[in-house]
Structure 1
Amino acid sequence: MDVIVIGGGIAGIATAYQLRAAGHRVCVIERHATAAQGATYGHSGVVLPSPLDVWFGPTFMRHRLGAKNGVLRKTGFNRAASSFVRRLNVLHAPTEFSQQYDRLRPLIETAREAMTDIESRFSLEFEQASDLLYLVRGAQEWKLTEPALDLLRQYEIPHQVLSAAQCVELEHAVPAEPDFAGGVRLATERTANCPLFTKLLKLVLDAQGGVQFHFGREVTGLRLESSHAAVELAPRPDEAQRSREVEVIRADAIVIAAGTGSLPLLERHGVRLPLHPLRLHTLVAPIAHEECAPHRTVIDAIKRIAITRMNHRLRIAGAAVLQSAIQTSKPLDPALFEEALALLGQATHDWVPGAAKISAALPWQGVKLLSPDGLPAVGKILHPRLFMNAGHGPAGWGLACGTAKVIAALVSGTTPEVPADTLAALQPERFLPA
């Protein structure tokens, strides 16, 4: 089959790889000049989510003040944003949290297997490292993590629950003062450079052949018919002033993997999904003092700020800003932007003081889609020839490698290697009226 993939980030490139591995011819269309230039560029290093990472459950939006949980809430929510928060709040209950993670877990393992296969085949090096240390400040916050700890035990995920003193002994960069509650070590879980992995996988596809890339092109519309599908492209920049016919690329199927750009394409066909844009921030800072730099990734478990060493720099990611969708589409208020960056800087100062030269850090901000039940939207949508792979959220970029395998199976007409209840929980049409 000929398949068009809209999006050249981690979701789109991983989908193209799995489709090509399944024997399909693929065309990737990306509005940026190269791969991994959108939300993919700003991912934290964490590869796969654990119960401590997922953006649903007992700790998400528990406190109203953003300084307490690392999510800055912009006042003036509209109805859609308020509904999104209410639906996520349902998953605060330990039972609902456990059930939702049960559905996600098989996808995590599928993603792990997919990445292992890619690495073994092509010997890719993308700044991989093992060992994550999640730190918790107070006794009340520690209590909120207990359902996640229960899931770590239930699934026999290798971990160590550490006292504050043991955390300090393990990671010399973490200060003993002021006191904190303790931490959780996931020594076998990994961090890695998401944009680098995406670019390397794109080079693999270049070498293999069978995948065409159209960079600097924006999809403006979809054409869905019984025998084929097609996309309409905006004129090239140098053609914008000319009168010309709409450029159309036809295929047997289309996969929308364009992050926040996925929603407008569906809305033009009357489909409105309740996935919500979440603005995230990243600082990439040079190491200030080698003796202060952490030997493993340090994560503020409640604020969800990850501090990952990558060669001679630290990637500090998190500081989400939750706004209405219309506000997210506009430039962020400078004061709120500074508040978000200050949150990242403060977390670095608190957990690895002296490690990062924040004054020389390069800031990034971007928007990622988060679903109201914390699971990505993966599967057919609207039409038998139209598929979607989006809404992974900011926790665990490698999850896109698992959803890509699911999409490749669905396009091929085979049964994905995940349980039926997981597959049903991922379907984008779960959000549509019955």
Structure 2
Amino acid sequence: MKIVILGAGVIGVTSAYYLAKAGHEVTVLDRQPGPALETSYANAGEVSPGYASPWAAPGIPMKALKWLFMKHAPLIIQPRFDVATWRWMLAMLRNCTAARYAVNKGRMVRLAEYSRDCLAELRAETGIAYDERMQGTLQVFRTQKQLDGIGKDIEVLRADGVPFEVLDRAGCVAAEPGLARAAEKIVGGLRLPGDETGDCFKFTTALAARAETLGVSFRYGVDIRGIKAAAGRVVAVETAAGEVHADRFVAALGSFTPQLLAPLGLDLPIYPVKGYSITVPIVDERLAPVSTVMDETYKVAITRLGDRIRVGGMAEIAGFSTSLPPSRQATLVQSVEDLFGGAGDQSRASFWSGLRPMTPDGTPIIGRTRYPNLFLNAGHGTLGWTMSCGSSRVLADLISDRTPEIDAEDLAFARYAA
């Protein structure tokens, strides 16, 4: 079949790779001059299945109120009065119950664990390199209250068979020796030894080149203007260069997917939650992290990527703004310098922001829409890199009329359409 994929981020490129492997003729359209130049460009670098959790969780509404008054707040809400923002926020609040959290986290972990396995298989097949490491994630807690609150997460991890370790202060330093000078600032941690790290941009760029050898056509610099439908099916993608026709279509445009599909009557609950990162060259190996450390207080991930440290985090409700306020960079610097002071050269830090496509329940939307030849692979939030290979493998199976290797029914748009 001829398949057109809209979007050349990590989700679009992995979708193209798996669909080409399944024998399809694939074309990828993107407005950028190359792959992974928006949200996939400088994310936190984690491949963290065990840390796959919905932001909508019990207690989050009260925490959010406290965060609004913190100097280095993990959540920033810019005053907005558009309907889409408030609808999304209310839908997220409805998911902040213990029952919904358990369901949402369970399916996110299921998909993320499968995706990690798919990534390992892809890496073995292709041999591509992307500053990858397989040394786990350490979530560090600065207060006893934080440490005492991990019970529900552990229940889900145990139920899904995800390996984990609850560590005291000394155990955290043993796992991440660079924390030694900041040991008194933490009380313990939760380590997920099965997690990985890697540069998403390097991975996506290398995989796009590999996909081209399988026959995938990447058309960059293409302005996608709309989707044309007739008789209940999609017939073409409308671009500035004319119409592009195919048998089946995949929307993988991240936060911009709802805007494209709204004229078709598809109301996708995906909202652009802004995140930030800095990338810092390492100047002292002894003080640097060996993998990923999650700072629970600031909701910041500090990741080792080769000879660099990537520090990413925060959630800002600000529509489609990609501005770079110095105060946000200060929060990232505060977290990494507080835990790994002197490891990187902050004078050479590069500062970046991206729009994470978030759903209210944290789970991406994968599969068919009410247009039988239009498929979705969007809404991965902060976990696009973590879930990319598994999501795209599931999508390729569905488009190829094969049964996916994991249960994918609850990943479909139908859970919202109802």
The CA RMSD over aligned residues, in Å, is 2.1
Instruction: Please tell me whether the aligned partners of residues 369 and 375 of structure 2 are also in contact (alpha carbons under 8 angstroms).
Output: yes
- 2:240 is aligned to 234
Q: Which residue of 2 aligns with 1:381?
A: 369
Pairwise CA distance, 1:201: 0.8
Name the amino acid aligned to 1:93.
Answer: T
* 1:290 maps to 2:285: yes
**Residue correspondence of structure 1 range 55-94 to structure 2 within 5 A:** 55-58=55-58, 60=60, 62-64=63-65, 65-66=67-68, 67=70, 70-76=74-80, 78-94=82-98
Contact 2:167–2:190, Cα closer than 8 Å, also in 1: yes
**1:115-154, aligned counterparts within 5 Å?**
115-130=119-134, 131-154=136-159
Deviation by residue 1:373-420 (Cα, 9 ceiling, x = unmatched): 11101111241111111000113513021111221122122222222x
Q: Which amino acid aligns with 1:80?
A: A
The 8 Å contact of residues 322 and 354 in structure 2, kept in 1 or not, is answered as no
- CA-CA distance at 1:123 after TM superposition: 1.3
What amino acid maps onto 2:240 in structure 1?
Answer: A
Task: Describe the shift of the 1:159–1:119 C-alpha distance in structure 2 as closer, same or farther (beyond 3 A).
Answer: same
- SS state at 2:34 partner: coil
1:99-114 superposed matches below 5 A: 99-114=103-118
In the TM superposition, what is the alpha-carbon distance from 1:294 to its structure 2 partner?
A: 1.8
Q: What is residue 17 of structure 1 aligned with on the other side?
A: 17
For 2:342, the equivalent position in structure 1 comes to 354
In the TM superposition, what is the alpha-carbon distance from 1:228 to its structure 2 partner?
A: 6.2
- AA in 2 matched with 1:276: Y
State the one-letter code of the partner of 2:151.
Answer: E
Give the secondary structure class of the aligned counterpart of 2:347. Answer: helix
Letter in 2 for 1:9: G
Q: Deviations over 1:297-329 (max 9, x none)?
A: 211135331111112211111122123xxxx22
CA distance in 2, matches of 1:39, 1:406: 22
Moved more, 60-69 or 256-265: 60-69
Alignment partner, residue 408 of structure 1: 396
Instruction: Confirm whether residue 205 of structure 1 aligns to residue 205 of structure 2.
Output: no
Give me the whole-angstrom Cα distance separating, in 2, the residues matched to 1:8 and 1:254: 14
Distance across 1 between alignment mates of 2:150 and 2:93: 15
Distance 1:59 1:112, change over 3 A: farther
Deviation at 1:229, TM superposition (A): 2.1
Aligned counterpart for 1:312 among listed residues 274, 299, 307: 307
CA contact (8 A) 2:114 2:390 kept: yes
Q: Structure 1 residues 170 and 108, CA, compared in 2 at 3 Å: closer, same or farther?
A: closer
- 1:180-219 aligned within 5 A: 180-209=186-215, 211-219=216-224
Superposition deviation, residue 59 in structure 1: 6.4
Q: Which residue of 2 aligns with 1:8?
A: 8
Structure 1: runs of 5+ lacking an equivalent: 236-246
Name the aligned partner's letter for residue 416 of structure 1: P
Partner residue, 2:256:
261
Say whether 1:428 aligns with 2:413: yes
* 3-state SS of paired residue (2:193): strand
Secondary structure of the corresponding residue to residue 26 of structure 2: strand
2:167 pairs with 1:162: yes
State the Cα distance separating 1:251 from its structure 2 match. 0.5
Identity of aligned residues (%): 29
Of the structure 1 ranges 130-139 and 78-87, higher mean CA displacement relative to structure 2 is found in 78-87
CA shift in 2, pair 1:127/1:409, >3 Å:
same
Q: Distance in 1 between matches of 2:117 and 2:177?
A: 33
Shift of 1:205: 1.2
What secondary structure is seen at the aligned counterpart in 1 of 2:137?
A: strand
Structure 1 residue 52: Cα displacement: 6.0
Cα distance in 2, alignment partners of residues 396 and 249 from structure 1: 26
> What do the CA deviations read for 1:55-110 (whole angstroms, capped 9, x no partner)?
33346553322447612222345443334233333444333222222223332233
Which portions of structure 1, spanning 4 or more consecutive aligned residues, are displaced by more than 6 angstroms?
A: none
Task: Report the 3-state secondary structure (helix = DSSP H, G, I; strand = E; otherwise coil) of the residue aligned with 1:56.
Answer: coil
Give me the whole-angstrom Cα distance separating, in 1, the residues matched to 2:207 and 2:248: 22
Unaligned runs of 5+ in 2: none
Three-state SS of the structure 2 residue aligned to 1:384 is coil
How many correspondences in the alignment? 411
The answer to which of 78-87 and 191-200 deviates more is: 78-87
Bigger CA drift: 27-36 or 286-295?
A: 286-295
Q: Structure 2 counterpart of 1:106, which letter?
A: R
Match of 2:99 in 1: 95
Q: Which 10-residue stretch deviates more, 221-230 or 150-159? A: 221-230
- Give secondary structure in 1 for the equivalent of 2:236: strand
Q: 1:59 to 1:30 in 2, by over 3 A?
A: farther
Within 2, Cα distance between the matches of 1:150 and 1:106?
Answer: 14
- The letter of the residue matching 2:144 is A
Alignment partners' CA distance in 2, 1:356 and 1:176: 15
- Kindly tell me: are residues 249 and 427 of structure 1, through their superposed partners in 2, closer, same or farther at Cα, counting changes over 3 Å? same
